[in-house]
Amino acid sequence: MFQDKKAGIIKTASWGSYFLITLFAPEIARESRPGQFLMIRVSDSLNPLLRRPLSIHNRSGQEVEIFFQVAGEGTKLLAQKNAGDFLDILGPCGQGFSLKPEFKDQEIFCVGGGRGLAPLYFLARELQAAGARPVIFYGGQTLSDLPLKKRLEEAGWETHCSTDDGSSGFRGLVTRLVEKELTRRKPYYLFACGPEAMMASLAKICQTAVLPAEFSLESIMGCGLGACWGCARKIKKNGEIKYLRICQDGPVFPAEEIIWPGD
Amino acid sequence: MVDLSVDLGFLKLKNPVIAASGTFGYGLEFQPLYDLNLLGGLVVKGLYFKPREGNPPPRLAETPGGLINSIGLQGIGVEAFGREVLPRLAGLKTAVIANVCGEEEEEYARVAEYLSQQAGLAALELNISCPNVRKGGKCPAQDPEATYRTVKRVQQVSSLPLITKLSPNVTDITAVALAAQEAGSQAVSLVNTFLALAIDLRTRKPKLGNVLGGLSGPAIKPLALRMVFEVAKKIEIPVIGLGGIFNAQDALEFMVAGASAVQVGTANFVNPLACPEIIKGIEDWAKSQGISSLSEIVGSLKV
């Protein structure tokens, strides 16, 4: 865990409301694992006050990337940063996705909804490096919600896209696309990150298919270190439901342990 | 050479900066980031006798310069703390202070009694002022008599020095501070958070799962400073000041207002290195002012 007060922005890219920032942060890059996140100070002022938790999208040598969508005041400020600016970042935070030795030679589904693709790129790269075969499912409302489609295809991974309006790939929800694919083949494991409704639905699909899965959750956070308990969420561990910290006990949890609103 | 140490009478701190309860976990969470021995002290998260589930999420809402929280004192309970956490804090060369909670007087007493039998604690902070856990009534810190009774009851069962943490959600905080002093508290810390509300206009729902929460951060600093000033004038026991301290200047202002030491809370989230940086900033300031001992500035406000 490191606080880098002056992580230099090497480059930025944007597609509509989606942004990619590449940062020089050697210590954090060295320790990062897929599914972990950074706590990022988006402004020197006291408004907004809290850091923003953002998934580590990629690591390359001494660099880390973050991929995000403008969703509020904090991400709006972050989106205005340019190459040459510095960011105060803390990380890597949280527990990442499990990377099990038995994934070798197995097919692993990685399902991302919109900005939820953020942690899955790093994950797919590590899966591939470990000899597994990542299969990507990438869903959005419309084509412009799939800015990383080309990048995924260039990485050489089997990639399935879906859009609500059919402007790219399968017309309909990405969960429906996964469900369809599951009638044809069964992967060894599934990882996902995306909107709550997507993950709640995917949890049921995985349960029916008896497919082990892990999901990465999002929350407002105070510290990102497990100290404040501000990001608590109901999780079922060993048959007992209790509030766990998304920042420290997660952000990745086994799908069957997550309690969904309305459950 | 500046002497940063602070003598509270019952407790000597190597410097006046204490990490505040509720923002610093059980102390160990910040260990990967810096040496905890740099701190004057640290106050662990509030402890009830039994483990506690806490409030429904969302538990945090931001406001300009502020943070409203409604954690609800989720925690592992005092026995698990004594068994699993305290032994890991015991080797620290900083004042480890436990924050004592209770649903009613007897629970405060049970928690305090248990803790006073453990090794490794420098003092207890009596949390009679959390705005998030009231059960159909007021917390003791909103009433001088209830404050007196709770402090007195804890004094009977605990041999550790007692710091009573006061609520700002009162008309006259000095009356409550006097009651704590009269009951035998060795110090008071103030202020806890201000009861607050944040609304999502789109849904017309409260932003917090528990409707109301406690406001902290720079937004409350002038209010907290005023209360520290008022209380320090009225009581004999030391005052530990807190409320929106984000840098050395804030900390020093609290000392000038009458605080013998300070606590840093919400700043730990925004800048995890806030406490060590504030300590360094205090030292630099004292050097630049030719101040050899920090006690010189406590209560030095010129009015």
- CA gap A36, A56 in Å, rounded: 6
For the question of residue B275 being annotated catalytic, the response is: no
Does residue B199 belong to any structural domain of this protein?
A: no
Q: State how far residue B65 is from chain A, nearest Cα, in angstroms.
A: 5
A–B interface: beta-carbon pairs under 8 A = 100
* Span A116-143, average pLDDT: 98
CATH code for the structural domain at A2-93: 2.40.30.10
Given the DSSP bridges, would you call strands A189-193 and A170-171 parallel, antiparallel or unpaired? unpaired
Q: Which two tokens stand for residue B86?
A: 């305290």
Contact with chain A for residue B24, Cβ under 8 A: yes
Quick one: average pLDDT of B121-140? 79
- Across residues B23-52, what is the average pLDDT? 96
Domain ranges for chain A = 2-93, 101-216
At A128, is the pLDDT very low, low, confident or very high (cuts 50, 70, 90)?
A: very high
| β pairing state of A18-24 and A37-41 | unpaired
Instruction: Please state the rounded mean pLDDT for residues B53-67.
Output: 96
CA–CA min distance A88, chain B (Å): 9
Res. B134 pLDDT band, cuts 50 70 90: low
Asked whether the beta carbons of A21 and A78 are under 8 A apart, the reply is: yes
The contacts of residue B291 (CB under 8 Å, 6+ apart) are: B2, B285, B297
Would B231 be classed as within a structural domain? Answer: yes
CATH of the domain at B49: 3.20.20.70
CB contact at 8 A, A254 and A244: no
Distance from CA of B26 to the nearest CA of A (A): 7
State the pLDDT at residue B129.
Answer: 84
**What DSSP string runs through A100-133?**
-GGGTT-EEEEEEEGGGGHHHHHHHHHHHHTT-E
pLDDT in tens, A244-260: 999 999 999 999 999 99
Tell me how far the alpha carbon of residue B202 is from its chain's centroid. 35
CA dihedral B229, B233, B239, B243 (to 10 degrees): -10
Burial class of A234 by CB neighbour count within 10 A (0 to 12, 13 to 18, 19+): middle
Q: Does B270 reside within a domain? A: yes
Number of domains in chain B: 1
Asked if domains A2-93 and A101-216 share a fold, the reply is no
Confidence band, pLDDT 50/70/90 cuts, at residue B188: very high
Give domain status of residue B84, yes or no: yes
Q: Using CA atoms, how far apart are residues B274 and A41, in angstroms rounded to an integer? A: 14
pLDDT of residue B139: 87
What is the assigned CATH class of domain A101-216?
Answer: alpha beta
List the domain range (segments joined by +) for residue B248.
Answer: 6-56+70-193+215-296
Percent of the residues in chain B that have a pLDDT greater than 70, as a whole number:
97
Which chain B residue has its CA at the smallest distance from A219's CA? B58
In a domain, B109, yes or no: yes
A245 at B interface, C-beta within 8 A: no
- Could you tell me if residue B86 is inside a domain? yes
Question: Within the 39-78 window of chain B, which residues sit less than 8 Å (CB to CB) from chain A?
Answer: 45, 53-54, 57-67, 69, 71, 74
| Mean pLDDT in residue range B107-114 | 96
Burial class (CB in 10 A: 0-12, 13-18, 19+), B139: buried
Q: Considering only alpha carbons, which residue of chain A is nearest residue B219?
A: A46
Q: How confident is the model at residue A206, as a pLDDT?
A: 98
In the predicted model, what is the mean pLDDT of residues A7-35? 97
Give the closest of B58, B65, B71 to A228, CB-based.
B71
Neighbours of A260 (CB within 10 A): 14
Q: With a cut of 90, say whether residue B271 has pLDDT above it.
A: yes
pLDDT value, residue B137: 55
Average pLDDT, chain B: 95
In this predicted structure, what is the pLDDT of residue A263? Answer: 73
pLDDT at B133: 62
Across chain A, what does the average pLDDT equal? Answer: 97
Contacts of A247 in chain B (CB under 8 A): none
Contacts of A210 (CB under 8 A, 6+ apart): none
